[in-house]
Amino acid sequence: MKATIKTLTALLIAGLAYSQEPAQAASSPTPNEGAAVTQNVFPQYPTINPFGSFQTLGFIQSVDDHKDYNTRLYLFLKQARFGVNGNYDDIKYEFQLALGGEDGIKTSPGVSLSLLDLDAEIPVSASFFVKAGQFKVPYSREELTNSRDLLFADRSIDNLAFKLGRDVGAAVYGVNGDFTGVLGIFTGGGRDVPVSYLPENIGIPMTVVRIGLNHNYDKNVFDLSQTSYNAANGWAFFVNGLYVKDSKVGHSTAMNVKLADKSLLLDANWNPYISKSPIVQGTLWQTGVDAAYRTTLSSTALLSGEVELNHGAFTNTYGTVQSTGGRAQAGIYEKPYEIGLRYAFIRPDANFAVTSNGKTVNLFSNADWVHQLTFAASYYLKGDRVKITADIPVLFGVPVVNDPISGAYVVTQQPDQVTYITSAAPNTATIARQTVVSAQLQLQVTLY
């Protein structure tokens, strides 16, 4: 994997070799002829653009529950966000908070800072930029897609196995015609990590490379969209690579204490090696490819499609867990309606297991795939500021925990609930694969 990262980095540098045009300096206004020239002793004020959004989700599900009813119904304030963005001279910035129920308080170490993004983007030339702060790790088309611009109510199960979320670090990126390349260095410990000066043994920071061709499809390297509202014909193709050697920090490691956006590869309730005592430093690598296409069907209709494939592995001296996943989807937009169909899968590792109360239970008896098929329909009101999305996700072969006290948990929605299968007898829960059918209705309001 190190060789892959080196190869992708070399391609990135080669692709940007011809993009070193000097940045245009902001021009000063010419004073009126004959008027006295007065020096402006105050700096230019930054532009400030507030924005926000919220999503409410109604959810009905059918699952084989050994204790209670097989059908359950939920209503959540799924997401509530507020932020501002803008620029100061030629430096862009973004600040965004997560509010509502999406960012719950972590019981250990007991923090919830709720900060999603705080970053600045500094131009080096007309086509070469540096981005620094806390922001999304540039890996995977689906993960980089803004949650407001998904074709469905949720991301696919492929994202569950490989998501990286936001992290603290810096990235350089550039555009030369259709060629786009990003190279990022991050801590690997995730977002919202409190300041603490602990003894450490540094490994290799998370190094991420994303390079490819973008022909009029993506408007922003770090903020992608699946929907075709106000979109144009185009296509894109990217490859991704990631490598990190964990750093020992205090009594644990950076990846082990990551607070949010944990993939199954880094979740201690699925990965039996990452938090095994005594704690040792491990490595994580991921590689993937994604592509997208959009074309006109008629004067009022657009057809879009995306495909993505990922593979990754975590390894330390105790063992290895790995997974493969992917998705393919298509959508048709004709104002004010949009429909979509998506297939996704993950091929889990038979070594995925939960260890608790001195007991270890394998979560998969084999490495058979988990499949997901989702149909979605959206209706846009007030432009794209109000959107109603209904979708029907069906999971095939998904593990379900049946707790004799509380009932059934679908583990792709509650990954940490697998600990119930290690409870002391006579309350030991069971885990088995099922077909689970759900229906969701989401209202989204965006203010900008």
Instruction: Tell me whether residue 33 is in a domain.
Output: no
Q: pTM for the whole thing?
A: 0.86
Mean pLDDT within 209-217 = 96
Q: How far is CA 275 from CA 50, 361, 415, in A?
A: 41, 15, 16
Q: Which residue would you say has higher pLDDT here, 156 or 419?
A: 156
Q: How many domains does the chain have?
A: 1
> What is the DSSP secondary structure assignment for residue 225, as one 8-state letter?
-
Q: 266: left (phi > 0), else alpha (psi -120 to 50), else beta? A: alpha
Domain span at residue 367 reads 2-8+48-447
Instruction: Tell me whether residue 331 is in a domain.
Output: yes
Instruction: Tell me whether residue 161 is in a domain.
Output: yes
Give the percent of the chain with pLDDT over 70: 87
Q: What is the pLDDT of residues 297-307, one digit of tens each?
A: 998 899 999 99
Interacting residues of 96 by C-beta distance below 8 A, sequence separation 6+: 81, 82, 83, 115, 116, 117, 118
Mean pLDDT within 365-384 = 92
Instruction: Tell me whether residue 22 is in a domain.
Output: no
- Examine the pLDDT at 332 and tell me if it is beyond 70: yes
Helix (H) or strand (E) holding 124: strand 115-125
Instruction: Tell me whether residue 25 is in a domain.
Output: no
Instruction: Tell me whether residue 29 is in a domain.
Output: no
Instruction: Tell me whether residue 410 is in a domain.
Output: yes
Give the end-to-end CA distance of the chain in Å, rounded to a whole number.
41
- CATH code of the domain covering residue 328: 2.40.160.10
User: Please, what is the average pLDDT of the chain?
Assistant: 86
Instruction: Tell me whether residue 399 is in a domain.
Output: yes
Q: What is the pLDDT of residues 180-206, one digit of tens each?
A: 999 999 999 888 877 777 777 888 999
